[in-house]
Amino acid sequence: MTIRIMRLLLCAVVALGMSAVSFAQIGISVTFGPPALPVYEQPLCPGDGYIWTPGYWAWGDDGYFWVPGTWVMAPEPGFLWTPGWWGWGGSAFIFHQGYWGPRVGFYGGINYGFGYGGHGYEGGRWDNGHFFYNRTVNNINVTNIHNVYNTTVINNTNVTRVSYNGGNGGIDARATPEEEAAEHERHMPPVAAQTEHIQAARNNPELRASANQGKPPIAATAKPADFKGHGVVAAREAGAPYHPPAERGVAGARGNEAAGRENNVPRPPTAVHPNELPPRERAAAPNTGNPKQDKKYQQQQDKLYAKQDKENQKLQQQQEKEHQQMAKRNADDAAKQQMEQRHQQQTQQLQQRHQQEQQRMQERQQPAHPGGGGRPNKG
């Protein structure tokens, strides 16, 4: 069996073992913002080591749908969850996937509650391999969980339920230097339990915003994808009245997921290596009305794309080298599968970073105007 055939088989195994939903939301852009965040209570924490992951609005075939907040076992000690968030990209709202890492990065300044007040996380901390919970923002049974402390979290008097950053009416927040640094640290994508949770929410018609009007009947769960039983919490109220645009009256969603589902065409598998990523869509040529400025912007875009192409090639060569080393060692299937999983994470993290770089460049090149639909914010 040739190395090429072996790689194809391993890719198939990884694709089955790791849901394509893991990074399906990366790069999705929608022409209108998500509903406000609903008001709901946090279910009881099921046990030590679980970290709260707040609920959010995701995009599916039928528009926005609610992904309930839930408790998730941390993938390894010391890791915290950075929630995903929607942000204005100059012409549409773009979703940034959440991730696990040693520090909490930028999540749009969105106040998700329960310790996620817009910047950082005040719901708990790691200490010598054990997670300690802040009882002032978490629902903890101290009979079962003893690693607790009490620290008051000061919230803004004007707590907003807005669920997106920038644009008209969005949160006005920028990443701090610490949050920008956290973006470049070692990350892990959502774990399998989270991808199953997202898929279960996607398949539940009651969680579509068009059905629940921003007040989902399943707002939070004690454990991922467990939508029945005493651990399920319904929303008390919608964060704000939901008035979506007329059905199909907007351009809809664009990106990896939407492109793969048009006309019922199956979604392509998640890329494992850089050469398997879908072709990138180059931004439209700048047109600010200032030819000199437009030329400068175009040169900046070309420079960014050249840098990203070089990084893709470098990662591809590195992974090819690891494949060759693995073949020389006659490694077993388990080791090869672990390598493919690592390659998938590397590839998706690189893709996410490139998309964020492209979005930031588009924001900088978007001419400011008083309508609020240009750059997300200036601070």
The answer to whether residues 253 and 27 touch, using CB atoms and an 8 Å cutoff, is: no
Check: CB of residue 196 under 8 Å from CB of residue 19. Answer: yes
DSSP-derived letter for residue 53 is E
Rounded to 10°, the helix 333-365/291-328 angle is: 170
The order of strands in the sheet holding 50-53 is 50-53, 69-73, 220-221
CA–CA gap between residue 54 and residue 81 (Å, rounded): 9
Strand 50-53, strand 69-73: pairing: antiparallel
DSSP 134: E
Residue for token digits 């996410």?
A: 352
> Residue 284 has what pLDDT?
65
Alpha carbon separation from 203 to 200, 207, 210 (Å, rounded): 5, 8, 14
Q: How confident is the model at residue 289, as a pLDDT?
A: 76
Whole-model pTM: value is 0.62
Nearest to 254 by CA among 91, 53, 141, 71: 91
Question: What φ, ψ does residue 233 adopt, rounded to 5°?
Answer: -120, 130
Contacts of 104 (CB under 8 A, 6+ apart): 80, 81, 82, 120, 121, 179, 182
CA 215, distance to chain mean position in Å, is 22
Distance, in Å, from the CA atom of 326 to the CA atom of 189, rounded to the nearest integer, reads 24
pLDDT at 309: 86
pLDDT at res. 30: 86
Alpha carbon of 377 to those of 3, 111, 258, 336: distances in Å? 50, 17, 28, 45
Q: What is the pLDDT of residue 247?
A: 43
Per-residue pLDDT of the chain (379 residues; tens, 9 = 90+): 444 444 444 444 444 333 333 333 445 678 889 999 999 999 999 999 999 999 999 999 889 999 999 999 999 999 999 999 999 887 889 999 999 999 999 999 999 999 999 999 999 999 999 999 999 999 999 998 999 999 987 755 456 799 999 988 899 999 999 999 988 888 899 999 999 999 999 999 999 999 999 999 999 999 999 999 889 999 999 999 887 775 433 334 444 333 333 333 334 445 678 887 776 666 666 677 788 888 888 888 889 888 988 998 899 889 888 888 888 888 777 777 778 778 887 888 888 888 888 877 777 766 544 443 333 333 3
CA torsion 84→204→34→92, rounded to 10°?
Answer: 80
Q: What is the pLDDT of residue 285?
A: 67
- The 8-class DSSP code of residue 182 comes to H
